[in-house]
Amino acid sequence: MNSVWLAIVGFIVFALGYRYYSKFIAEKIYHLDPDYVTPAHKYNDGVDFVPTKKVVLWGHHFSSVAGASPILGPAIALYWGWGPAFLWVILGTVFAAGVHDFGTLVLSVRNKGQSIGTLTDRLIGKRAKMLFLFIILILVLMVNAVFAWVISNLFIQFPAAVLPIFIEIPIAIWIGYAVYKRKAKMLVPSLIALAVMYGTAVLTSKVPFLQIDLVRYFGGADNTVIFGLDGISMSFFVWIVILLVYCYFASTLPVWKLLQPRDYINSHQLVVGLLMLYAGLLVLRPELTAPMTNEVSDVSWFPLLFITIACGAISGFHGLVASGTTSKQLDKETDARFVGYLGSVGEGVLALISIIAVATLFANAGDFRAAYSDFGAASLGGMSNFINGAAQLATGIAIPANIARTIVTVIVVSFAATSLDTSLRLMRYIISEIGSEYNFKPLTNMHVATSVAVVSSAALVLIPKGPNGFGSGGYLLWPLFGTSNQLLAGVSLLLISVWLKKQGRNFFYTFVPMVFIFSMTLYAMFVQVVFQWSGLGETDANMLLFILGGIIFVFAFWIILEAFRVFFKTDKSPPIDPSM
């Protein structure tokens, strides 16, 4: 089958979902009111609360939620064939993610622009909020540990991408300085920055001397360098240390100095990447060589598919962004449909190209099965498969394969680095919040909290022996990532349902995806904790995962019980604010 059909069907379903389903939800369920005074107007302070045009806000929301995850999840989920991944991405986006992102935005707008964490505190209770914080803490710790390894791995596999990535840092600092101190415009300098980065990528692809290949510097993969570490392990060690030191500075510096201008450059990369890949797809029109369904014996698609693809279909992280910053900038309440629903559709489009890139990469189904021999191989090779597949698509617009590979790697590493330092920053905030909640003052200090975040991430990356060798300790906890993220989405949908019920409205359309997400997540966790990690099943016991997974499982169950108590409580009192 030709892969263009997947793109066409996907786009048609997304368009219908936006045109009809989101309109129905906006009018009949969320009752959007064009005259409602949004927090952006009510609390307009020129900083956090600023009424913003819907197209601008959509772009900002989309670039905040788009990262490496909508690429990685579908690339791994292709293990069960492209069919299930494709169906979940399009249906999950239309019926679950759209309603979730759109709903968290509306809920936050109707509650003074407060975030999901604060709303959990208010609508469910303080205990639920603390449990929620611990789950997010484990979530970001895993992201730090795994993304540090993923980026190091890409640096080792594609050394031509190192220099263009490193060049981005001084350019970003320069742009930040020019804009802040000299009030310069950003568009032209950031386009020049992009041109410099891609120009360097072309150069490094052609000139091996410019490729920063640590393995070669350390005398090859088999050479023992120091403390029994071979060339590859030593390279991982050096890259991980460099990345974490960089993250320490990136997360303690004022954001306008480095992170904002760097994100600004990366947003261009998102546009360049999407245009490049979809244009390549239209020119090449490659056949799908991966099978539609893949019979496997080790890990069943049901329920694991729904936690493997998080961003790209539904993801709890989107609710954090929608209720954290986007809701404070919504000009009119009716814009929430465009910003929230279409924001999740944007993620769906990114996930769709990831599926197509990997499903068209292999020469035939045999090659696919060799690369995706078991779930471990799928998880390990997901990102590299995407890069190779995407590079193949990019050859459609006359970019030579090796240069395309370097450029795609630069784009992917940029996204992954954004996720890494954002999650480190988030971890710092959570550690500070826990510190102030339990009245432990030292943790509220920025440098102490950042050091705790960096040291614990480094310990998780370097100390335990991970499944992918030295430096992959984060992968020991990675199986918990999908479940923690989806729990967050479930809790957000539950909050929306509680709010709708309080308003006496139909909560069926948020309740059904919530039940689905909760059951899939808890089912997956139960199967993994009891049958995979406890040693009761056929596999050997994994005490670390068993204990942590067990804790998250209990916490999740606890939050759900607390929430259901609130949900089914007969509430005769009127809403706190009648306008909500």
Residues at the contact surface with another protein, assessed by CB under 8 A: 45-48, 50, 52-53, 55-60, 63-64, 179-180, 185-187, 190, 254-256, 260-261, 263-264, 267-268, 271, 325, 329
Our CB check for another protein shows the closer of 178 and 452 to be 178
Minimum CB separation of residue 107 from another protein in Å reads 22
Using DSSP, state whether 52 is helix, strand or coil. Answer: strand
Which amino acid is it at 106? V
Residue with smaller CB distance to another protein, 186 or 229: 186
Tokens of 181: 């101190």
Q: How far apart are CA 537 and CA 225, in angstroms?
A: 40
Backbone angles phi, psi at 248, to 5 degrees: -60, -50
Q: Which C-beta is closer to another protein: that of 101 or that of 230?
A: 101
What is the tally of helices (H) and strands (E) in the chain? 25, 2
Supply the minimum distance, in Å, between the C-beta of residue 47 and another protein: 4
Q: Which is nearer to another protein, 112 or 216 (CB)?
A: 112
Residue with the two structure tokens 């099965």: 369
Check if the beta carbon of residue 414 is closer than 8 Å to that of residue 162: no
Q: In the complex with another protein, which residue's Cβ is closer, 58 or 533?
A: 58
Residue with tokens 């950003």: 186
Q: Is the peptide bond before 303 cis (omega within 30 degrees of 0)?
A: yes
Q: Minimal distance in Å, beta carbon 40 to another protein?
A: 12
Rounded Cα distance between 195 and 415, Å, is 18
Which CB, 262 or 337, lies closer to another protein? 262
CB of 272 to another protein, least distance (A): 12
**Local structure of residue 339 (DSSP, 8 states):** I
- Whose Cβ is closer to another protein: residue 187's or residue 226's? 187
Return the closest-CA partner of residue 111 out of 459, 492, 415, 557.
Answer: 492
CB of 404 to another protein, least distance (A): 24
Work out how close the CB of 260 gets to another protein at its nearest, in angstroms, rounded to a whole number.
5
Q: In the bound complex, what is the minimum distance in angstroms from residue 63's beta carbon to another protein? A: 7
Nearer of residues 50 and 566 to another protein, judged by Cβ:
50
Question: Least distance in Å: CB of 48 to another protein?
Answer: 7
CB of 173 to another protein, least distance (A): 14
Tell me the two tokens of residue 139. 């979530």
Of the CA atoms within 13 Å of residue 5, those in its CB half-sphere come to: 6
Tokens of 118: 């604060």
Instruction: Find the angle CA(446)-CA(246)-CA(407) to the nearest 5 degrees.
Output: 140
- Long-range pairs of 535-542 with CB within 8 A, sequence gap ≥ 24: 542/476
Is the separation of the CB atoms in 232 and 238 below 8 Å?
A: no
CB of 74 to another protein, least distance (A): 25
Q: In 3D, which of 135, 154, 136 has the Cα closest to residue 68?
A: 154
**Which helix (H) or strand (E) covers residue 441, if one does?**
none
For residues 329 and 457, which CB has a smaller minimum distance to another protein in the complex? Answer: 329
Per DSSP, the three-state class of 124 is: coil
φ and ψ at 96, to 5 degrees?
Answer: -115, -60
Q: How far apart are CA 122 and CA 427, in angstroms?
A: 22
Dist. CA 167–CA 195, nearest whole Å: 11
Instruction: State which residue, 137 or 321, has the beta carbon closest to another protein.
Output: 321
Q: Which is nearer to another protein, 48 or 213 (CB)?
A: 48
Shortest spacing between CB 326 and another protein, in angstroms? 10
Give the pair of three-digit tokens for residue 419: 């996720």
